[in-house]
Each structure stands twice: as C-alpha cells, then as structure tokens.
C-alpha cells in the first residue's frame, strides 16, 4: 500500500470516528431513556396500587397538601419487590405525592424523580428526558427548562404537551429541570369505590355486588328472570316487628318462609296441592312417618285418613260401614287402621257381635295424607 493510500485511510477514519462516537453515545442515551422510563413505570404502577389499597386513609388529601410516599413505603407494602432500587439509571430517586383534584375530587398520584445527574447538557434536559417521558405514554411527564415556549420551569409537563401541572399549586417542591414525572388520576371505577354498577365490569365482579341491605324506598323490581335465595336453617327467627312483615327466606328442609301476621308461614305452591302430593295408599296396620314441621310456624304434624276401597267375596254379606283412623306410635310415626262393618255379627273380629271386621291386607286400602297444620285455639 502506498503512503498516499495510508494517509487517505487515516483521514477517512479521523472523519468517521467522531461520527461513530456520536452514534454510540446516542445508542447509550436511547438505552438509558428506555431504562429510566421502565423504572418510572414500575414505581408509578405501584403508587397507583397503593392509592387503591389505602384510598380511605388517603381521602384527607387536598389539592395542595397530602401524604408523601417513598419507594421504601411501596416495598414495605409488598407493591414492589424487596431490593427494588430507589434510583434510576441517572441516579435520580423518587418522591410520590398524593393530592386531590379541586374540581372532580378524584385522588391523584404524582411521581417525581429528584437529585441524581448534575451538570446536565442542554440535550439531556431538552431531548433525552422529554424522550424518556414520552416512552411512558400519556401518563409520563418531565420538568422543563423553560427554554421552550409555553413550558414553564416550575411545572410538570405531560409528554407531547398533553397536560401541565403547576408544582407550586400542588404544594410540591420542584426538583428542577431534567427530572421525570408521572401522573395517575383515580375516579370511582379506578378505585373500585362503593358504587353499584348497572353493567358488568370485566375483572371486577365486586362492583356488581351488594354488601348491605338494599332499600327500594317503596319502588318495585320488575321483569325478574329468577331469584336465588341463600339457604338458611330457621330456628329462632322472629316475625313480630312491623319491619319484619313480608320477609321471605329459604330453609333448606322446609322451603320458603314468609313473615305474615306477626308469625312465620310456609309458602304453599301455586296449585295448593301440597296436601295431595303427600297422599299414599296404605293397608290396615301400616306405619306412616310424621312430617317435620317448620320451626316457628306454630304448626304440628297431622294425618288425614279416608277409606279408598274394600272388597268382599261373592258370598260375603254386604258392607254397611267403613272406618279409618290413625294412632300415634312415637314422635316420628303413626299407624293407620281400617275396618268394615257387616250385618253378620258372627264375622266380628272385635271380640263382640258388632260386625266390625279388619280386612286382610289384600282386601282394603286407606288414602293417607299428612301435613303440618295449625291447631285451632281451644
């Protein structure tokens, strides 16, 4: 290679090296912007979670005063992992200010970086930091130098000029130009406050759930597809107070109760067929289980019997009378009985000449119905 060629190559390298150095510096700056933005995003999300978790305690904040949090607070509350660093890639730490919007009353979390990188260049202040804020999207912001028109040095400027907050009006000390910030506002939906939503909110079933009694103030609920009751075991319910009248609740065994006329009532089916549903055909001497009567209704087990059919042979005397009844064997069982009467006194099985006969099991049936009834006052 000739000397002139070597000199030419060196000249080209001398021209390109500064450009390459600039490109490397720009690449490093872009990487740092991304790192700073991602770090701030983690702190901002944790701050938002803190507000949702402690909204009751933070509700005393005003437009110009309120609690100030640190990264340590977020770590101790489990919102950031242990060992999370309080400084970003530029050595800036964080301060979180909780304020309440003076117009809407919504809580706000303002995150600012403080301290860190000193003797910053104009490019860092006016290009790098605003660029990092833009990577956060609409919530990102920065403290401007004031060199750009309509950007005051004592404000937190939203990326892309989307919003601007006066730090002085918020009662927040300005960290100076070259610092990042983030703003999060919380309405009732974001906080999951105690409002009942008419429509489903994906991922937030609690917004459609009541946590106390619902008073309709004498208004109706119409077009109900179905009602689902929570099962209860009714034992010592009282229906004597005026506000108890009309209450309906479900017992696991007895079904629906209604508070009416200062007492508990069991709601029958619409066809009034409960008694008939329990009807069975029994034989003389069969045992019948007593129903379990609902507590507090003033009812007790009752049994109703009626002859259904009796049969006699072709040479038997005519049947002149039927009788059916039940006797109580225990707290849980009755025994039913049936007899027929004939004019032939010699057929009597009662030990007398009355003509009463207890038919064999294949020659008579008893209709038996059981229910829980209120006894008439003596």
Q: Residue 57 half-sphere exposure, CB side, CA atoms within 13 Å? A: 7
| Three-state SS annotation for the chain | CCHHHHHHHHHHHHHHHHHHHHHHHHHHHHHHHHHHHHHHHHHHHHHHHHHHHCHHHHCCCCCCCCCEECHHHHHHCCCCCCCCCCCCCCCCEEEEEEEECCCCCCEEEEEEEECCCCCCCHHHHHHHHHHHHHCCHHHEEECCCCCCCCCCCCEEEEHHHCCEEEHHHHCCCCCCCCCEEEEEEECHHHHCCCCCCCCCCCCCHHHHCCCCCCCCCCCCCCCCCCCCCCEECCCCCCCCCHHHCCCEEEECCCEEEEEECCEEEECCCCCCCHHHHCCEEECCCCEEECCCCCCCCCEEEEEEEEEEEECCCCCCCCCCEEEEEEEECCCCEEEEEEEEECCCHHHCCCCCCCCEECCCHHHEEEEEEEEEEECCCC
pLDDT at 270: 43
Task: Please give the chain's pLDDT, 378 residues, in tens.
Answer: 566 766 666 666 666 566 655 555 565 567 888 999 999 999 999 999 998 888 878 888 999 999 999 999 999 999 999 999 999 999 999 999 999 988 888 889 999 999 987 657 888 888 889 999 999 888 899 999 888 887 888 899 998 888 999 999 999 999 999 999 999 888 654 544 555 677 776 777 777 787 778 888 888 889 989 888 888 777 777 788 888 888 888 887 777 888 888 877 777 654 455 667 678 889 889 999 998 887 777 788 999 998 877 666 667 777 778 889 999 999 999 999 988 888 777 777 766 777 788 877 777 888 999 988 877 766
Cβ neighbours around 323 below 10 Å, total: 12
Q: Is the dihedral of CA 201, 207, 213, 216 positive or negative?
A: negative
pLDDT at 195: 59
pLDDT at 112: 96
Q: Which of 291, 305, 264 is nearest to 372 (CA)?
A: 291
């Amino acid at each position: 290679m000739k000397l002139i060629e070597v000199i030419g190559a060196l000249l080209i390298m001398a021209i390109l090296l500064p450009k390459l150095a600039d490109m490397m510096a720009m690449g490093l700056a872009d990487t740092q912007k991304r790192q700073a933005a991602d770090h701030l995003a983690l702190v901002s999300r944790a701050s938002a979670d803190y507000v949702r978790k402690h909204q009751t305690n933070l509700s005393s904040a005003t437009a110009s005063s309120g609690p100030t949090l640190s990264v340590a607070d977020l770590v101790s509350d489990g919102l950031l992992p242990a060992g999370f660093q309080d400084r970003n890639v530029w050595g800036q730490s964080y301060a979180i200010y909780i304020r309440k919007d003076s117009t809407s009353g919504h809580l706000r979390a303002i995150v600012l970086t403080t301290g860190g990188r000193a003797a910053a260049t104009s490019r860092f202040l006016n290009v790098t930091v605003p660029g990092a804020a833009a990577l956060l999207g609409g919530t990102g912001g920065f403290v401007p130098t004031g060199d750009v028109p309509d950007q005051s040095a004592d404000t937190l400027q939203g990326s892309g000029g989307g919003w601007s907050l006066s730090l002085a009006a918020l009662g927040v000390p300005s960290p100076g130009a070259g610092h990042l910030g983030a703003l999060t506002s919380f309405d009732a939906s974001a906080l999951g406050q105690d409002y009942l939503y008419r429509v489903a909110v994906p991922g937030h079933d609690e917004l459609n759930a009541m946590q106390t009694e619902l008073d309709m103030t004498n208004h109706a609920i119409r077009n109900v597809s179905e009602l689902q009751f929570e099962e209860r075991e009714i034992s010592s319910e009282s229906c004597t107070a005026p506000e108890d009248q009309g209450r309906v609740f479900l017992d696991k065994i007895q079904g629906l109760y209604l508070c009416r006329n200062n007492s508990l009532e069991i709601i029958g089916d619409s066809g009034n067929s409960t008694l008939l549903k329990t009807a069975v055909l029994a034989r003389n001497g069969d045992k019948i289980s007593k129903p379990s009567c609902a507590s507090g209704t003033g009812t007790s087990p009752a049994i109703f019997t009626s002859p259904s059919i009796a049969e006699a042979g072709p040479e038997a005397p005519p049947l002149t009378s039927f009788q059916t009844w039940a006797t109580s064997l225990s707290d849980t069982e009755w025994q039913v009985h049936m007899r027929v009467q004939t004019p032939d006194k010699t057929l009597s099985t009662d030990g007398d000449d009355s003509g009463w006969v207890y038919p064999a099991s294949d020659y008579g049936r008893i209709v038996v119905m059981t229910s829980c009834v209120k006894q008439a006052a003596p």
